[in-house]
Structure 1
Amino acid sequence: MTIESIGLAPSTLVFIVLGLTLAAFMWGRFRYDLVALAALLGSVMLGLVPTDDAFKGFGHPAVITVAAVLVISRGFERSGVVDIIANQVLKVGERLLLQLLVLVGTVVVLSGVMNNVGALALLLPVAMRLAREHNTSPSLLLMPLAFGSLLGGLTTLIGTPPNIIISTYRGNITGENFGMFSFTPVGVVVALVGLLFIVLVGWRLTPKRSGQASTDEMFDTANYLVELKVSEESKANGLTLQQLHDELEETIPVLAVVRKDTRQTGYSFHGVLQQGDILLLEAGPDELKLLEDKVGLSAIAEPEEDDDINTDEAESESRASQQAAERQPVDTEGLQLIEAVVRNDSMMINRSVRQLRLNQQFGLHLVAVARDGGRLKQRLRDIRFQTGDVLLLQGSENEIADGLATLGCLPLANRELHLGQPRKLAMSLGIFALAILAMLFDLLPAAVAMSTAALISLLIGVLPLREGYQAIDGPVIVLLAAMLPVGEALETSGGAEIIADALLRFGVEWPIIVSLAGLFILSMLLSNVVNNAAAALLMAPIAASLASGFDVSLDPFLMVVAVSASCAFLTPIGHQSNTLVLGPGGYQFGDYWKLGLPLSLVVMIVAIPAILWAWPL
């Protein structure tokens, strides 16, 4: 198939491909890396991208730099650099304004020298601990923290992928990339003003979700923990827990097995059930009925919610409850329950408990799932996990740590700070400093300097090789590599020039600053519905065509795209940082614009004059 055989202009075909791509991004049915790859292959088949250039994006300097920065960021975490900072943050005290200033200020600084999602992921558990220790709603802390991570990324070349993309694009046009600190004059001004706005005003615009700081309150666990007794006639008598699950065709987490005066946690119980055993488990009305009907487990204590059972069952359970009155309350101490949030890059997304084999493969029991601030009441086996889901899990300490890392989940409740080894800490900082110096003095390009730093970190053991590969966000890498040729097709087909001409006709009677504001708004809106890297890739050629049409310097137009592409403050899907706090903060989709819209306006009002001051027309 060729362009000529279709009979449409190349620019028209590019707009069709991009329109379908953006629609697929907004729909969200398919992951953004798959959508980007489909756009690339479609462009190749239509002749918009030469076949020989289809996969050159995977070797593009911007893609290599992003991958290297992700590895270096994980090295910082592993060596304990960030944990030392986080340990100091926990001493901030109970004043909310001070908590916000320290938390958001810290994530702004960290996001300038490491991946902004990584910086947020490290401070998210710290914010949750602060909220719980001082009885503060985490919804007041987490959205400001996420937005702060985006602001911090504006300050340096490696702070966020759009900066790397814009720098590389400038190099392709002018022969000279933006440097490591070319973004700093504008980025620091914008980040400081944004920080002050969030701390002094913005947090008041976030919803206050009561009760989200407590595991028991979020999941209402106490109302669902019940004790069931194995009788002589029970079908469960003589079964292992795995056989019990097979009989039920349902994964109902058994938290503990009590035999006489000994209690053993469910994940470590490998024997068979006997008459008189007490099972401590988490179950609602439907699960209790299933346990009674299929394996003959009778309730010793029943939650108050179970009023949809028949009269005979109610009388039986009433007698059981009277007998249970003499028993001690359910004791959950030592059950190793932990909260974790599903990350954007998690292997759990769109998969169920059975597909993941959480118990068999990872040694983890799923106890409950919360989404949008509330506990899901459907059967655990029917739940397909989504980004931002908060999971309540049980397992041994080692299994929890290893399992969550492999699954791509971030622990929230009981994350212990580890200070790392001083030698590795010093080496990690030293390697990063040398890479920065090599870039500052133009000894090495950013991609080579960052890749060398990542390689040395792996070779000397700052970061294990397996974790180095895990640190590379595959979907983001595929997105960048696939959209780079598509973005070039927008330019080579004349599509970017058509859009720029339309903006020029609109702004010909207005000062250029008005066109810059229009470019800022267009790029900002795009970044809220697609990945910010994709927004930068698509808007860069439009900015170049606009600068050429006005016959002025390219730099301020590219800087406008760099800043605006990172202003994804309006929706939870615009940036991974926003999605990461969706579940733990108990936010809803419409909560983000209430703080995000005023913050976006503040950033635009501050950024455009700062850009024109630092990068004159």
Structure 2
Amino acid sequence: MFVTLESLFLLLKQYQADVVLISATLFLRLAGALPNDRDAWGGFSNSVVLSVAVLGIVSAGVHHTGVIDFIFMRVLGRPKTYFAALIRLSLPAMPLAASISNTCVMGVMIPVIEKWCKEINMPPRLFLMPMSYIMLVVGAFAIFSTSSNLVVQSLLMERGLEPFGNFDIALLSLTCGMVTVLYCAIAVPMMLLYMEASETTSSSPTKGTPSTAGKKLFLANIQITGSLLNGQSLADSGLLTVMGKVANIVRVERMGEEIDLDTISEKFGLEQYDVMYVWTTSDAVLELIGLPGVSLIALDGGFEHQHRDDSRDIVEVVLDGLCPLVKQPMTSTTLLDNVYGANCLSIRPCTIQHFRKPQAQADEVRTMVALLRAQKRDADDAGVYRFCIGDNLILDVPRNFSAEYANSAHFTLVRKLNEDEEEGGKGDVSETQYRDMIISGGLLVMLIALVASKAMPLLEAALLTSFLMVLSGCLPQQKAFSAINIRIVLTIVGAFGIAKAVNLTNLAAVLARIICQLLAPLGQRGVMAGIFIATVGLGIVFHCTAVVSLLFPIVVAISESKNVPVPLHQAMAVMMMGACCQVLSPVSYQTNIMVFSSGCYTFADFPKVGFGIVILVGVISVGFVDQLIVTH
């Protein structure tokens, strides 16, 4: 009991899940709570756990060939209303999310949605979060669609219980998914669109300067390095044309002395070596790199970035939980250079998105800059800014960075910002690319057909598909190996060990008895509602695979209880749908982190929209599970 609670506490403190769970399982094995190695480490030989690893290669192959991008660009069109646009976007996204990793799908969708929204004149924030939620709910469509489903299936087989058929909960997931689409189509414009309008109307940029209202802004540091701009005003220098209005300047220093922002206007005269911190767009950051008379200063090292190096790329990344930068001080760390060969050109802090009002965001940025410029060199100082999960960075990186880290657990998003310049005009698909897209799409269909028809077990079908992806040239061998996320495997194995200990020590039976006694007056539906609420609640802070692993023995014990007998597979289906409702926090799931910064959302936006989805999915799952799943 103590080890389980301590593990949950460490996970809540954002310690790395694989390390915590594997360490907890090791401790339980050494303490004798797990009597043999099979109970502790049996997950390593579990075919379903191995399938989770191999399916990462299949997803990487489909992503690498560009077939997802190709499908979206052919389907979206130019709808006139938000309802029609969301339906158009959901049509290809839902079957893809039910077939491959929705992290891969979302990684492709973000730039597609941003480009498409410019064409149809709608804000991207109306689509990014809803699509993350829709794909989460629909992800339970097939047993092999999500890792949490596969974990439940594996635990059922390990206990000698009847497993689910591949599509036993498909109708339940599809019903919840369709209701989620309709809910988002109605609720999202009412909850989010008015904020877009208020930000746009509150902004009145000077003629000739770009508006940054409603756009994703980054903090960058520039210095006037040449005599070209010396003596010119802000208006005459052309800086405002690039970075926006004067209000986007959050700090100005001249010869080490801070200049009062109240004195800064369009007529403010620039002098050589002036240092400015600006709050501006990623496009402006790219322009500032090559702007004559201006140098972009890296935030982590202080060096000047004066021109575009052809041997390097400018990329946008979002930090994930396994990134070694997390909790490291920004201004004194050498990890960026040592690990990635990179430098931080600008940052959009995760903390900024606690605030909706532009003025509150500006105040937060000024506070951050004041801390950066304070004369503090001790990395242990509490005032030093430290990288956080969800921080959005613009990095100067080596050419191979994107290929190496596109599928890495270090980042939820890796996107080249200078790709359009290098590959602009890339609209036509070559014969080789077209061939690879057809082959990878065909192999994905083959995998689904083999598993659905039970002609081949999931592991063998996934391995066969992966080998064919590499042999056909759809995926380079090195990328295939890098697509295997060993840390996800370690997380699942560690969770298996703790779940086994919970069962062997009769802790599951005790907890099940308490739950049944508390919820007995509410009957069978009340007990299933308790299972759903517990799963959703734990899913706010813990990975879904850890949640279902820990709750599995408790749910089995509940189903065997004589007080309120609950059919096992119905209870499991409710738990699996609850595991897909990680919609109440931006850091509860990878796709939420990806859209968090891209859509300029606040923390409050996620539960504001997600709470209604939880209620709807809960009502459908608990109320109609006996009618919507296949019973044996």
Q: Please classify the TM superposition score into its range, dividing by the shorter chain length.
A: 0.7 to 0.9
SS at match of 1:66: helix
Q: How far apart, in 2, do the equivalents of 1:580 and 1:528 lie?
A: 16
- Report the 3-state secondary structure (helix = DSSP H, G, I; strand = E; otherwise coil) of the residue aligned with 2:98: helix
Shift of 1:45: 2.5
Give the match for residue 31 of structure 1: 16
* Partner residue, 1:540: 552
Partner of 2:599: 585
Task: Give 1:160 deviation, angstroms.
Answer: 1.3
Equivalenced residue count is 530
Q: CA, structure 1 residues 353+66, in 2 after alignment: closer, same or farther (shift >3 Å)? A: farther
Q: Contact conserved, 2:216 with 2:598, CA < 8 A, in 1?
A: no
Shift of 1:111: 0.9
Show CA shifts across 1:76-128 (max 9, x none): 10122201123235633564333333334433221100112222222122223
- Larger deviation: 109-118 or 455-464? 455-464
Contact 2:113 2:127 survives alignment (8 Å): yes
Question: Which residue does the alignment assign to 1:339?
Answer: 316
Report the equivalent of 1:555: 569
Structure-to-structure mapping, 1:342-491, within 5 angstroms: 342-351=319-328, 352=330, 355=333, 358=336, 364-371=342-349, 372-373=352-353, 377=369, 379=372, 384-394=386-396, 398=399, 401-402=402-403, 405=406, 408=411, 409-411=413-415, 421-491=433-503
Q: Aligned partners of 1:320, 1:27: CA distance in 2, in Å?
A: 41
Instruction: Report which of the two structures shows the higher radius of gyration computed on alpha carbons.
Output: 1
Question: For the Cα contact (< 8 Å) 1:60–1:481, is it kept in 2?
Answer: no
The SS at the match of 2:474 is coil
Cα distance change, pair 422–610 in 1 and its aligned pair in 2 (3 A): farther
How far, CA to CA, are the matches of 2:259 and 2:438 in structure 1?
54
Alignment partners' CA distance in 1, 2:82 and 2:469: 38
Paired amino acid for 2:596: L
Of 612, 615, 618, the match for 1:598: 612
For residues 570-607 of structure 1, the C-alpha deviation after alignment (integer angstroms, 9 at most, x for no partner) is 12232222222222223333332111111100111112
Classify the secondary structure of the residue corresponding to 2:542: coil
Q: Per-residue deviation at 1:563? A: 0.8
Which stretch has the larger CA shift, 87-96 or 542-551? 87-96
Offset of residue 486 of structure 1: 0.9
Q: Which residue of 2 aligns with 1:41?
A: 26
CA contact (8 A) 2:218 2:347 kept: no
SS in 2 for 1:388: coil
Taking structure 1 as reference, are residues 603 and 403 closer, same or farther at Cα in structure 2, changes over 3 Å only?
same
| Other structure's SS at 1:368 match | strand
| Distance 1:499-1:361 versus aligned 2 partners, 3 A rule | closer
Q: What is the deviation of 1:188?
A: 0.8
SS in 1 for 2:139: helix
Q: Secondary structure at the match of 1:611?
A: helix
Relative to the length of structure 1, the TM-score reads 0.75
**Aligned match of 1:58:** 44
After TM superposition, the structure 1 = structure 2 runs for residues 287-302 of structure 1, keeping only pairs within 5 Å, are 289=255
**Contact 1:180–1:436 (Cα < 8 Å) also in 2:** no
1:582 aligned counterpart, secondary structure: helix
Instruction: Identify the range of structure 1 (558-567 vs 577-586) with the bigger mean alpha-carbon deviation.
Output: 577-586
Q: Which of 624, 627, 630 matches 1:610?
A: 624
Aligned equivalents of 2:438, 2:10: Cα separation in 1: 45
Distance, in Å, in 1 between the alignment partners of 2:176 and 2:191 is 20
User: Alpha carbons of 1:390 and 1:92: their partners in 2 closer, same or farther (altered >3 Å)?
Assistant: farther
Map of 1:235 onto structure 2: none
| Secondary structure, counterpart of 2:316 in structure 1 | strand
CA distance in 2, matches of 1:451, 1:56: 20
SS in 2 for 1:421: helix
TM-score, normalised to structure 2, is 0.73
Instruction: From 89, 96, 102, give the equivalent of 1:110.
Output: 96
Aligned with 2:3 (options 5, 10, 17): 17
Residue of structure 2 aligned with 1:529, choices 526, 541, 545 = 541
Identify the residue that residue 299 of structure 2 maps to in structure 1: none
Call closer, same or farther: CA 1:383–1:319 in 2, change over 3 Å.
closer
Deviations 1:516-560 (A, max 9, x none): 111111111111121111111111222211111145532111111
The SS at the match of 1:340 is strand
DSSP 3-state at the match of 1:463:
coil
Alpha-carbon distance, 1:139 to partner? 3.0
User: Are the aligned partners of 1:167 and 1:179 in contact in 2 as well (CA < 8 Å)?
Assistant: no
Contact 1:368–1:393 at 8 Å: present in 2 too?
yes
Q: 1:215, 1:339 within 8 Å by CA — same for their partners in 2?
A: no
Partner Cα separation in structure 1 for residue 445 and residue 9 of structure 2: 42
Equivalent residue, structure 2, for 1:229: 226
Distance 1:529 1:413 in 2: 31
Q: Which moved more, 1:102-111 or 1:519-528?
A: 102-111
1:356 Cα offset (Å)? 5.5
Show the counterpart of 2:588. Answer: 574
Partner residue in 1 for 2:61 = 75
Instruction: Give, in angstroms, the shift of residue 431 of structure 1.
Output: 2.6
Q: Paired residue for 1:236? A: none
Q: For the residues of structure 2 that align with 1:467 and 1:542, how far apart are their CA atoms? A: 39
| Counterpart check, 1:138 vs 2:92 | no
Show CA shifts across 1:344-371 (max 9, x none): 5545434457756656875644221002
What are the residue-to-residue correspondences of 1:492-507 with 2, within 5 Å? 492-507=504-519
Counterpart of 2:109? Answer: 123
Counterparts of 1:179 and 1:616, CA distance in 2: 9
CA distance change for structure 1 residues 442 and 384 in 2, over 3 Å: closer, same or farther?
A: same
Q: Could you say if the C-alpha distance between residues 364 and 102 of structure 1 is closer, same or farther in structure 2, counting changes exceeding 3 Å?
A: farther
Structure 2 CA distance for aligned equivalents of residues 87 and 316 of structure 1:
46
Q: Is the 8 A contact 1:157 1:181 kept in 2?
A: yes
Secondary structure, aligned partner of 1:341: strand
Per-residue CA deviations over 1:345-402 (Å, capped at 9, x if unaligned) read 5454344577566568756442210023466636499654333222223468x45644
Partner Cα distance (1:503, 1:361) in 2: 48
Instruction: Report the AA paired with residue 435 of structure 1.
Output: L
Within 2, Cα distance between the matches of 1:343 and 1:318? Answer: 39
In 2: Cα distance, 1:458 partner to 1:126 partner: 27
Task: Output the CA distance in 2 between the equivalents of 1:35 and 1:334.
Answer: 44
Q: Percent identity?
A: 20
Instruction: After TM superposition, give the deviation of residue 141 of structure 1 in Å.
Output: 2.4
Contact kept? 2:390, 2:587, Cα under 8 Å = no
Cα distance in 2 for partners of 1:319, 1:26 equals 45
User: What RMSD over aligned residues (CA atoms) do the two structures have, in Å?
Assistant: 3.9
Q: For 1:5-26, what per-residue CA distance to the aligned partner results, in whole angstroms no more than 9, with x for missing partners? A: xxxxxxxxxx222211112111
C-alpha separation in 2, matches of 1:203 and 1:51: 55
SS at match of 1:587: coil
Aligned counterparts of 2:567 and 2:394: Cα–Cα separation in 1: 54
The DSSP-based 3-state class of the residue aligned with 2:482 is: helix
Counterpart selection for 1:317 from 256, 263, 271: 271
